[in-house]
Amino acid sequence: MAADTVALPPLTGHLTRENVHMGKTRREFTPEYKDEAVKLVINTGRAIATVARELGINEASLGRWVIAFKARNDTGETGVTESERAELLRLRKENADLKLDRAFLKKASIFFAQEASDTSAKRSN
């Protein structure tokens, strides 16, 4: 061996979830929060690092959000923000639920209308 090389011990075992300790739990942010953080960077012209430090979030995460926002707007992709997209999904689900409710109520009203006409026909006899 040469004088400037270091001998490393052989690697044994594999890293698994059981023997790797994660320092922090992963935080998740709402689309609205992401949009507001991106707007702080874009509208104020402050650096991503500064805004990330002020908000207490990872600089790399905020950087990815800004890049994604710019990519959506530069490519002419829909002008729909992340929060608007989330609201659209919520409203579509709500609309489907309301359609089911309406169909049920329509069937119930037909049932009760028939039952009422049956009882009034019996009374007239």
pLDDT score recorded for residue 31: 86
pLDDT score recorded for residue 75: 66
Phi and psi at 44, nearest 5°, equal -90, -15
Please give the domain boundaries of the chain with CATH numbers for all domains: 31-118 (1.10.10)
pLDDT tens per residue, range 82-92: 788 888 899 99
In this prediction, the residues of the chain whose per-residue pLDDT falls under 50 are 8-20
Contact call for residues 43 and 37 (beta carbons, < 8 A) = no
pLDDT score recorded for residue 73: 77
For the chain, report the end-to-end CA distance as a whole number of angstroms. Answer: 113
pLDDT score recorded for residue 22: 58
CA–CA distance from 34 to each of 2, 29, 51, 52, 83 (Å)?
53, 7, 12, 11, 8
pLDDT score recorded for residue 13: 45
pLDDT score recorded for residue 63: 95
